[in-house]
Amino acid sequence: MSGIQQKMLLLSGIVLMAMSAIWTVLTYFNQQTQEQYNQILQRYLRMNDVSNLSGQTVALLNDYMLAPDEGKLIAFHRAKERLLQARNGLEDLRTPENDITLTNYMNMIDSLSETADSVILFIKQMNMEQSNKRFDETARISKYLSETTLDLMNIDLNTYDEFYRSMIEKSSALKQLGFFILGLSTLLLLLMAYWLSVSITRPIMKLTHAARELSRGRFDQRIEIESNDEISFLAKTFDRMRININNLISEIQHNAQLESELKENKLRLQESQLRSLQSQINPHFLFNTLDTLSKKAYLEGAEETSDLIASVANLLRYNLKRLDRSVTLREEIDVMMRYLEIQKARFTERLQFEIVVDEALLHIRIPSLTLQPIIENAVIHAVEPMEEGGTIRFRVHGDEERVHVEIADNGAGMSESVIRRILEEHAEVEPEGHSTGIGFSNVVRRLRLFYGEEDIIDIRSEQGQGTTVILRLPRHGGMKHDTQAADRG
C-alpha cells in the first residue's frame, strides 16, 4: 500500500535525487574545466616565472658588478639556482608545437647562466673590459629570454586556441543548461505536485460526495475509490458503515412491523377476551334453566325435546370451558355429533350425515372446538341455502405419520379467493351467525399454532361440486403448552 506519506516521501526523494545528480554532474564538469584551465594557466605562470627570474639574476649580477661583495654573490647564486630549477621544470611544458622554441629557451637559460658565471670569473680576475662585455651579453640574453617567453606564450595561445574557444562556448552552454534544467525541474515539480494533490484530493472529494449522499439518507449507493492509500481504506470502512446502517434500518423497520402486528394481536386478544366474558355473563343461570327445561320436557313426555335441550346445554358448556386447551379427537367428535344432533333436529331429512372413523386414531390431541366450526361452516354453506338439503361426509383415516380428517359437503363450493383468504387467516371473511363465535380462519390459525406447522389444512373446492376440508394432523406432536392453559370452565 502506497500511502499518502509514502507518495510525498517519494516525490521529495525524486526531487532530491534529481537535484543532487544535476548538482554533482555540473560541479564535476565545472571542476574539470577549472582544472584544465588551471593547468594551462600554470604553464603561463611558469614561463613568466622564468622570465622574471632571469631579469632578477641579471639585476643581482649588475649589483655585484657595481660593488662586489660576498653577500651579493650569494644572492646572485641563489637567484641563478632558482632560475636553473625553473628551467628544469620547463621540460613538462613541451608540446609538438613549441618543441624547438622550448629547447632554444632552455638552452638560452643555460647560456645565460654560463655567461653570467664568466662575468663573475672576469670580475674576480679584475678583467673589467671582458666582464663588461660579457655582462652586456648576459643582459641581451635576458632580453632574448623575455622575448622568447612571449613567443612561447604566443605558441601556447595558438595551441590552446581551440581549447579556449570551446571552453568559452561550453561554459556559456553550461550556463544555459543550468537555466534550462532549473526551468524544466520547476515545471516537472509543478506537474508532479499537481498529480500528487489530485491523487489525494480526488478520493477525498468522492468521499465527501458519498458522505453528503449518506447524510441525505441515500444508503444504497456504493462508495468506490480506486486508489490504494489511506483514503481508500477510509472509503472502504465508510462503505461498510453504510451497509451496516442500511441493514440496521431495515431491521428496525422489520421490528417496527412486528411490533405493530403484536399490538394488533394484543388488541384482538383483548377483544376476544371481552367477548368471551360477555358470553359468560351468566352461563350457570342459562345451564340451570336449560336443565330445568329439559326435565320439564321429559316429565311432559317430550323426550326428544328433552334430549335436544340437553345437547344444547352440553354444547354450550363445552364451548365455554374448553377453548384454551387440547382435547382428544374422540372428545371433539363427540361434541361434533351433539352439534349435528341439534342441527338434525332443525333440518331433519335435508341434512344427511355420513361418518367413517378409524377408532384407533381417536386418541391424538387436537385443539378444542376445531371440528365443530368446520361442520357448522359446511352446514351454513352447503345445507342451509339448499332446498333439497345436503350431505356432509366425515372421515378419519391415517397413515404412518399423520391422521387425516376429512369434512366434505356437496354444496355450491367456494371461490378460489375465499379459500385463499381463509388460508391466509383473514378474519374479516368470517360471516356472522356462528354459534360458537369461532370462525374458520380462527380454526386455521389455532391449528397452525398448535402443531407449529403451516401445512396442516387443505381446502379443495369446485364450483357446484362441493368443498372438502382436509386436516392433516401429525400423530405425535402438538402443543405442549396446553397443560399450562388455565381451566376457565
Point out which residues bind other proteins (CB under 8 A): 29, 33, 36, 94-97, 99-101, 103-105, 107-108, 110-112, 115, 140-141, 144, 147-148, 159-160, 162-163, 166-167, 169-170, 173-174, 176-177, 180-181, 183-184, 187-188, 190-191, 194
Q: How far is the CB of 233 from other proteins (least distance, A)?
A: 27
For the CA atoms of 273, 275, 279, 280, what is the dihedral angle to 10 degrees?
Answer: 30
- Minimum distance between the CB of residue 120 and other proteins, rounded to whole angstroms? 17
Tally the C-alpha atoms within 13 A of residue 83's C-alpha that lie toward its C-beta: 28
List the grid coordinates of 317. 358448556
What minimum distance in Å lies between the beta carbon of 20 and other proteins?
Answer: 17
Nearer to other proteins, 173 or 211 (CB): 173
**DSSP secondary structure letters along 328-391:** EHHHHHHHHHHHHHHHHHHHGGGEEEEEEE-GGGTTSEEESSSHHHHHHHHIIIIITT-SS-EE
d(CA 294, CA 310): 6
Nearest distance in Å: CB 187, other proteins:
5
Q: Which is nearer to other proteins, 175 or 240 (CB)?
A: 175
DSSP letter for each residue of 237-295: HHHHHHHHHHHHHHHHHHHHHHHHHHHHHHHHHHHHHHHHHHHTSSHHHHHHHHHHHHH
Which one, 73 or 177, has the nearer CB to other proteins? 177
Kindly report the backbone phi and psi dihedral angles of residue 327, in degrees, each rounded to the nearest multiple of 5, phi listed first.
-130, 175
- Pick the closer one to other proteins by CB: 171 or 328: 171
- Kindly state the cell numbers that stand for 4: 499518502
**Cβ distance to other proteins smaller for residue 170 or 295:** 170
Yes or no: say if 379 and 413 are a contact pair by the CB < 8 Å rule: no
Report the residue number, 190 or 204, with the smaller CB distance to other proteins.
Answer: 190
Residue 64 CB, shortest distance to other proteins, in Å, is 21
Nearer CB in complex with other proteins: 89/452: 89
**Residue 413: left if φ>0, alpha if ψ -120 to 50, beta else—which one?**
left
> Cβ of residue 183: shortest distance to other proteins, in angstroms?
5
Spell out a b/e string for 334-350, using b for 16 or more CB atoms within 10 Å of the CB, else e: bbbbbbbbbbbeebeeb
- We find the least distance from the C-beta atom of residue 262 to other proteins, in angstroms, to be 59
At residue 65, the 3 state secondary structure works out as: helix
Output the smallest distance, CB 123 to other proteins, in A.
Answer: 19
Q: Minimum CB separation from other proteins for residue 182, in Å?
A: 9
Identity of the amino acid at 371: L
Q: Which is nearer to other proteins, 23 or 180 (CB)?
A: 180
Q: Which is nearer to other proteins, 94 or 295 (CB)?
A: 94
Cell numbers given for 34:
577549472
Task: Quote the CA–CA distance of 257 and 270 in Å, as a whole number.
Answer: 20
Neighbour-count burial of 161, counting CB atoms closer than 10 A to its CB (0-12 exposed, 13-18 middle, 19+ buried): exposed
Q: How far is the CB of 102 from other proteins (least distance, A)?
A: 8
Q: What is the DSSP string of 123-141?
A: HHTT-HHHHHHHHHHHHHH
Smaller CB separation from other proteins, 67 or 100: 100
Residue 31's CB: how many other CB atoms inside 10 A?
A: 10
